[in-house]
């Protein structure tokens, strides 16, 4: 969503590196680049002016002029100002003290309200609530049916007394849902209303009537993040016509420039509360301004990644794998590797997961071109192995690799590559689990061949000489061993040692060595 903005800001900050002090010209040039980047991202002009003005004012202040690294201070200022225009702090739902909490959804046609209603219901269910969906969108064809299907998928009750498709009174449906929720002991009611246009006075009046009938604790305005600056105009017209308490952004995974997300909170004064960033019903979460600002500045979103991992990962399996890697619970096998890979798949697409890591903006093109089916191919190769082969990959020889490749429909080279990478990855993970650092990385503790000299230089390893060759025939090998013993017994004593406590004649030993004539003086 924010790829263009992130790239432009990264290029801007790159020009500041290496400067000990920032001149007035540097600050003006940086502010100009930030302004262009925000305008290209479809951020509303008033928001751009306010943002750039705040950055310039703080950049001229003492916090930068006295800083050791002005470039990092500018990034810090931009990050803090981004958090401010995104709403400042995370805004959470307000729940009613008595009776069911009523949440009303409103927004434009096609903004994704019906799907988002199911996503919100699933999210509340995971929070320990008992939500009920209300089909009050009786205008759009099959809107009621869509909500019923989505409600069934997430395991949430749907209140739909009217068939919809232009039939029924949405105000009466909304009013009746409150009594139904009390009767069936649901503590949250989510009312899905009909989509409308900003200029549609009749539907605006209908939304106001529903609001008055159910007295919602939260009115959420659902807006498509891909509609650009027009989102601000629409948000303002809804605020004047219906009123709302918070904003929900949908389609944040799209390829639009994302100006709506940066504009709505600042223009309307209403916080962005939730964000939907995918097609799955689980692709929904609270909107955190600080995390979104970090993503824009390519600082990653590790906190969200950790939270998703905590929800998706099986802690018992993870502990078992960690014990195996540390050498306490047996050997880490291909079965364990497959289990860990399946756990990661629960987090979502690999490109989305990797995109949450800091500094991955520079690899955006590679992430976008990543083939998600590659994980399925790896899984197919592993599952084509026998249990014994998965438990002990060292036994997979050439004929077994050919059979595995034939069983999963891949090439033998694919099987070879997987097995080789598994051994390398296992070695690296075991090294890290035991606290030995990264294998093969210079300067890291626990590296093979790393010496403890004064300057940290590696000690040269002595090459081992080849031993005497032995015959594969046992009888012949015994004869060779006996001959070696006889030869050792007949050999002269070692001139530099005293085996058996015997006295050595060093002059005779020197003569036996055939040293040069003038070398004898060094033996005295």
Q: Which residues are annotated as a binding site for GTP?
A: 107-114, 192-196, 250-253
Q: Helices 373-383 & 398-408, crossing angle to 10 degrees?
A: 130
67 Cβ neighbours under 8 A, 6+ residues apart = 73
Do 129 and 103 meet the contact criterion of CB atoms below 8 Å apart? Answer: no
Q: Cα-atom radius of gyration of the chain, to the nearest Å?
A: 35
Q: In sequence order, what are the beta bridge partners of 222?
A: 107, 248
Determine contact, residues 64/73, Cβ cutoff 8 Å. Answer: yes
- C-beta of residue 493 within 8 angstroms of C-beta of residue 499: yes
Reduced to 3 states (helix: H, G, I; strand: E, B; else coil), residue 273 is strand
Whole-number Å distance between alpha carbons of 365 and 369: 6
Q: Please name which of 269, 271, 264 lies closest in space to residue 287, comparing C-alpha atoms.
A: 271
Cα–chain center distance at 476: 63
CA separation for the pair 178, 187 (Å, rounded): 10
218 by DSSP, 3-state: which? strand
CA dihedral angle for residue 170, residue 175, residue 180, residue 181, rounded to 10 degrees: 100
Crossing angle of helices 201-214 and 230-241, rounded to 10°: 50
Return d(Cα 146, Cα 143) in angstroms, integer: 5
- Annotated binding-site positions: 107-114, 192-196, 250-253
């Amino acid at each position: 969503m924010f790829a263009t903005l992130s790239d432009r800001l990264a290029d801007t900050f790159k020009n500041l590196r290496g400067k000990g002090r920032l001149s007035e010209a540097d600050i003006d040039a940086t502010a100009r680049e930030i302004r262009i980047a925000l305008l290209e991202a479809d951020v509303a002009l008033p928001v751009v002016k306010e943002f750039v003005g705040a950055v310039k004012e703080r950049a001229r202040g003492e916090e930068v002029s006295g800083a050791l690294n002005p470039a990092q201070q500018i990034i810090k200022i931009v990050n803090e100002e981004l958090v401010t225009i995104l709403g400042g702090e995370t805004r959470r739902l307000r729940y009613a003290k008595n009776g069911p909490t009523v949440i009303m959804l409103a927004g434009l046609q096609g903004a994704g309200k019906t799907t988002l209603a199911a996503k919100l219901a699933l999210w509340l269910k995971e929070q320990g609530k008992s939500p009920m969906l209300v089909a009050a969108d009786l205008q759009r064809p099959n809107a009621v049916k869509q909500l019923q299907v989505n409600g069934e998928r997430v395991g949430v009750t749907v209140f739909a007394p009217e068939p919809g498709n232009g039939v029924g009174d949405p105000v009466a449906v909304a009013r009746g849902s409150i009594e139904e929720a009390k009767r069936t002991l649901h503590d949250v009611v989510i009312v899905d209303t009909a989509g409308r246009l900003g200029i549609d006075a009749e539907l605006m009046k209908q939304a106001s009537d529903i609001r008055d009938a159910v007295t919602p604790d939260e009115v959420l305005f659902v807006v498509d993040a891909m509609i650009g600056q027009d989102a601000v105009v629409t948000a303002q017209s809804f605020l004047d016509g219906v009123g709302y308490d918070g904003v929900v952004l949908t389609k944040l995974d799209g390829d639009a420039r994302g100006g709506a997300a940066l504009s709505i909170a600042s223009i309307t004064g209403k916080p962005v509360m939730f964000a939907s960033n995918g097609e799955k019903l689980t692709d929904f979460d609270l909107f955190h301004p600080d995390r979104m600002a970090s993503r824009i500045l390519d600082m990653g979103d590790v906190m969200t990644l950790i939270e998703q991992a905590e929800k998706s990962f099986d802690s018992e399996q993870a502990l078992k794998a960690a014990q195996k890697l540390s050498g306490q619970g047996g050997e880490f096998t291909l079965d364990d590797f497959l289990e860990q890979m399946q756990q990661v798949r629960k987090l979502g697409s690999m490109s989305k997961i990797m995109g949450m890591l800091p500094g991955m903006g520079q690899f955006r093109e590679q992430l976008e071109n990543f083939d998600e089916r590659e994980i399925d191919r790896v899984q197919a190769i592993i599952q084509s192995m026998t249990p014994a082969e998965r438990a002990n990959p060292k036994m997979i020889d050439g004929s077994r690799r050919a059979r595995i490749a034939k069983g999963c429909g891949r090439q033998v080279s694919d099987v070879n590559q997987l097995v080789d990478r598994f051994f390398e990855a296992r070695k690296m993970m075991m090294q890290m689990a035991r606290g030995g650092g990264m294998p093969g990385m210079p300067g890291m503790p626990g590296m093979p061949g790393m010496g403890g000299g004064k300057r940290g230089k590696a000690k040269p390893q002595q090459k081992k000489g080849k031993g005497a060759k032995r015959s594969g025939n046992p009888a012949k090998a015994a004869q060779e061993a006996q001959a070696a013993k006889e030869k050792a017994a007949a050999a002269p004593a070692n001139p530099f040692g005293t085996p058996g406590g015997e006295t050595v004649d060093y002059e005779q030993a020197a003569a036996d060595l055939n040293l040069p004539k003038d070398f004898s003086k060094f033996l005295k």
